[in-house]
A and B are shown apart, each in its own frame.
Chain A
């Protein structure tokens, strides 16, 4: 069974930085696109960023472009999200998710890590 475990969330002041990590196991990590999806308290799901298996191609939602950077280390089976210039509206649970091969579907998800941006 695929396993995705996020870490690195916490409380940070506006303008601050945080780095999220996602440890992947029980599948060939380098073969899959990976993503971060977030959910603000009481709100719906919002895709944040995605990265190709070899790390070359990356996509971001407009609201985080220039502030967030997605990356991966295939040798460590790990996905990262570097978040800079954080804003209150970035407060959310951040999920690590794997893309399936069929329809750009998010076929496996981690349990999420909470990021709170507040002074």
Chain B
């Protein structure tokens, strides 16, 4: 099975900051990488699919990049509503549909 790691596991940031979260796969997954946001106790929300495609309704300050084993989620200017936990998920070698361990973004 493909293993996913994320770094950092948590970070502190301020409103207006540029935030970058990294996701790494244990083997190449081409561009089969999706990103989710989860706010305290709520259901996850899809942000980015296929590494770099913005899901409908997601603000353009969110962007994704990368291919093969290394991927990045960037928030260009952090807003108060962006404080949350972010998960990556590989969809190349399935099943299983593997998630990363998450990155918590807080103050």
Which of B34, B95, B102 is in CB contact (< 8 Å) with A105? B34
What is the interface size of chain A, counting residues whose CB is below 8 A from a CB of the partner?
24
Query: How distant is A64 from chain B, measured CB to nearest CB, in Å?
Result: 11
> How many B residues face the partner with a CB closer than 8 A?
27
Q: Tell which of B33, B46, B98, B100 touches A47, judged by Cβ atoms closer than 8 Å.
A: B98
The B contact surface, by secondary structure, is loop
Contacts of B97 in A (CB 8 A): 35, 47, 50, 104
Chain A positions within 8 Å of B53 at CB level = 102-103
Task: Mark contacts of B33-53 with chain A using CB atoms, 8 A cut-off: 1 yes-contact digit, 0 otherwise.
Answer: 110101000111110011001
The answer on a CB contact under 8 Å between A46 and B91 is no
Pick the 9 closest A-B CB pairs, nearest first: A104-B91, A103-B50, A109-B43, A105-B49, A59-B95, A47-B97, A105-B34, A45-B99, A103-B49
